[in-house]
């Protein structure tokens, strides 16, 4: 009868068998899509548990070695993410553990964590509130160049076309001129009724749901303040999508859209200015997508902080 020790000792390990005809170092080897719970404080002091997808990798520096120890990476991911909130210190320790488990094989490690974070958002006018699920991606790496940490998320907002708004106003002016002859006295009640009718407001500008995809790199001592980042960007845009909506909230949203007409270039510059003003952010990359209701294609703009060697400067990131 075999004991557990004997069974393990007799198991073949083909991964340890070198293949000289296929020798070569590899940039990254590991696993992606690991299913694990993740604990995360989005910046409000409340730790939330989410279902996450994780990628865990190390490089393979030894051309003569066939593979890495994937089970070691998996067990470390399970150990750390199941018990500790995701922050810079925890990720640094986890990546160091990756490298310690592959001392003779690797000198670089990286991890990616993807999940949705629920954040409660207040209505614009009423006392109601509702939940928004923001996608979160956290990327961390450790190597000879040091520790690097990035946070990605997206903001969904409404964008109303300034050109379409101007054309709509022109049509309303022309309709007014037809309905109220020049030189004739204006009746205040009649004009007020006209402004509130479909006959008077004959055109409305086109608007669309739009998406700003954000990637930021925080300063070394900064926390992963997701809610602070979302608040800054949503306030800069002025028209984030809403959750619980009563008529007074919808009217307030219409007013916000009218006061924040923007092309995708305008939206990109608003976010660029807002993130430039945050000293905790050392670099950022933004992709804005206005999913046009006028066209079958999208209007797209990109923005970055413009630091040397950063996300911009022709890096090709899209």
CATH architecture of 22-161+206-304: Roll (3.10)
pLDDT digits (tens, 9 = 90+) for 168-201: 999 999 999 999 999 899 999 999 999 999 999 9
Q: To which residue do tokens 């548990």 refer?
A: 49
pTM, rounded to two decimals: 0.89
Asked whether the predicted pLDDT for residue 316 surpasses 50, the reply is no
Residues 209 and 239: beta-carbon distance below 8 Å: no
Helix extents (H) in the chain: 4-10, 70-83, 88-100, 162-179, 188-195, 226-237, 247-258, 264-276
pLDDT digits (tens, 9 = 90+) for 84-100: 999 999 999 999 999 99
Domain chopping of the chain, boundaries: 22-161+206-304, 171-201
């Amino acid at each position: 009868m075999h004991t557990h020790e004997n069974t393990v000792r007799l198991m073949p390990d083909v991964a340890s068998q070198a293949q000289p005809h296929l020798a070569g170092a590899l940039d990254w080897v590991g696993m992606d899509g690991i299913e694990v719970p993740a604990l995360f404080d989005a910046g409000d002091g409340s730790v939330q548990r989410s279902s996450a997808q994780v990628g865990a990798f190390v490089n393979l520096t030894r051309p003569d070695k066939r593979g890495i120890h994937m089970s070691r990476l998996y067990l470390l991911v399970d150990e750390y993410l199941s018990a500790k909130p995701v922050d810079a210190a925890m990720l640094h320790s986890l990546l160091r553990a990756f490298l310690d488990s592959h001392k003779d094989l690797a000198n670089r490690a990286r991890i990616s964590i993807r999940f949705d974070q629920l954040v409660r958002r207040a209505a614009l006018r009423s006392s109601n509130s509702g939940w928004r699920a923001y996608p979160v991606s956290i990327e961390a790496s450790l190597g000879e160049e040091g520790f690097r940490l990035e946070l990605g998320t997206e903001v969904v907002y409404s964008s109303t076309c300034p050109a379409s708004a101007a054309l709509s106003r022109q049509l309303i002016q022309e309709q007014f001129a037809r309905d109220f002859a020049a030189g004739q006295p204006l009746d205040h009640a009649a004009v007020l009724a006209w402004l509130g009718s479909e006959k008077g407001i004959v055109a409305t500008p086109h608007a669309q749901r739009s998406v700003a995809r954000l990637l930021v790199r925080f300063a070394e001592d900064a926390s992963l303040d997701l809610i602070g980042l979302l608040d800054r960007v949503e306030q800069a845009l002025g028209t984030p999508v809403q959750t619980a909506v009563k008529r007074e909230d919808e009217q307030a949203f219409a007013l916000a859209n009218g006061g924040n007409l923007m092309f995708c270039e305008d939206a990109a510059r608003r976010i660029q200015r807002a993130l430039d003003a945050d000293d905790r952010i050392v670099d950022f990359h933004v992709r804005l997508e206005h999913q046009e209701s006028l066209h079958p294609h999208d209007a797209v703009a990109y923005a970055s902080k413009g630091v040397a060697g950063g996300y911009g400067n022709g890096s090709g990131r899209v």
